[in-house]
Amino acid sequence: MTLAIAPSEAADSPDATPVDDTSVDGTSVDATSAEPSDGLAAVPSGDVPEPVARDARDFGAYARTGGWTFALKVARSVRPGGQGADETPKVSAKEFSDLAGCSAERVMRYYKAWDKAADDGLVPHFEALTPGEDIELPDSDVWLTYYASRSSALSPRGTAITEAAEAEGIRPTKALEVAENPTALRAAILADPGTAEAARRALMDRLEEDPALRTEMVRDIVRADDLKKAVAAEAKAGDRVDYVRQIVDKGQVKTPAGQLIDAPAELKEEAERHLSLIDELEEGEDSGEWAREAYDTVKDLVAQTVQSDPQLRVQERRAKFYSSLQKATKVFEELTFDDAEVDDIYEDDMLLRLEELQKSIAACITALQAATAGTAAPAAPAGDTD
């Protein structure tokens, strides 16, 4: 039977966008005929025209073996590497492609598929085959394990996409087609919420292992005011949920002054109740309002806990005072006194504010000294700056 492979040089050109071969029963193919199998009738039955019977025979052969039918034609007719023209009646891949009317690249894809299968012991090696020889071929559903119908699949990028597709349980050709048509992918994302959601999840998975992409994504977000506000709102809601979750997980809570105290049973129960409501929300449902309510409720209970315990109340006031003192000290230390020597920055209001600050510090020192001595602090005379 004459080997008839559909010419497709345009698709094989380096400048052309690779396209999938046609398929039968989900198996890639780029030829239009196959040799009849031994088990099929060689002559038409009854009044069936010969062309129809021939098509049926070809279809049956291909349905059982898929691309192996055409890979065998290559394997038994193309000489393997290392063999010279004088050692075998087989021809080179280039000569075979010229006879077939297709590209040598396409022939080599079948050649490489057969080579891989031979290494796995699934089919004989090239050297064991002679032109025109028929052998029993593997099932068609095994073909795609070895055959890459797209030239891009042979590149490092294509190999990575193929491996990822196999890990997801889909045909590599589908993933490769998407990768080769980013405009089509963009259109699907813009038009279909389901595709957009799949893309979002894939991006989130990739961000974990791609620092460069993560950086670009963050930059895009901060450049868009609406996205930046949305991220800030989600971050605030997340912080509130974490505050409530810490009470449940660790049994401790921070007071307004920053003390870490053991959470009373009532407080912990209320935190658990609110957290369970948040955890039960459907994916995609806005948790901001729930987080705010949980946070406000817990904060009120924390304040009540502090006020109901005299010792804890004193500790809270002490912690608050010391925190404020630290902040004031840091701010004052950051003042640059070298600038005060420059006449052109001086204003009367500056001196007035410093004098008022001096009075406040003096009064505070007096009060603390009196408290240490166990006596009431005397009222500071009006206008006293010492």
Model pLDDT for residues 73-88, shown as the tens digit of each residue: 999 999 887 677 778 8
Distance CA 264, CA 284 (A): 33
Residue 13's pLDDT is 37
Contact (Cβ atoms closer than 8 angstroms) between residue 173 and residue 149:
yes
Q: What is the mean pLDDT of residues 341-349?
A: 69
* Residue 44 reports pLDDT greater than 60: no
Higher pLDDT, 122 or 158: 122
Q: How far apart (Å, rounded) are the C-alpha atoms in residues 1 and 211? A: 57
Lowest mean pLDDT, pick from 139-153, 200-214, 291-305: 139-153
Across the range 338-367, mean pLDDT stands at 79
Please say whether the beta carbons of 37 and 44 come within 8 A.
Answer: no
* 27: β partners: 24
C-alpha radius of gyration, the chain, whole number: 39
Q: Are 33 and 109 in contact (CB under 8 A)?
A: no
Tokens matching residue 103: 């590209």
| Predicted confidence band of residue 30 (pLDDT cuts 50, 70, 90) | very low
Provide the residue count of the chain: 386
For residue 293, is pLDDT > 90?
A: no
Distance, CA of 250 to CA of 240 (rounded, Å): 15
Mode of pairing for the β-strands spanning 260-262 and 252-254: antiparallel
CA distances from 42 to 99, 132, 153 (A): 26, 17, 38
Q: Give the integer Cα–Cα distance in Å for 34 and 190.
A: 42
Residue 289: which pLDDT band, with cuts at 50, 70 and 90? Answer: confident
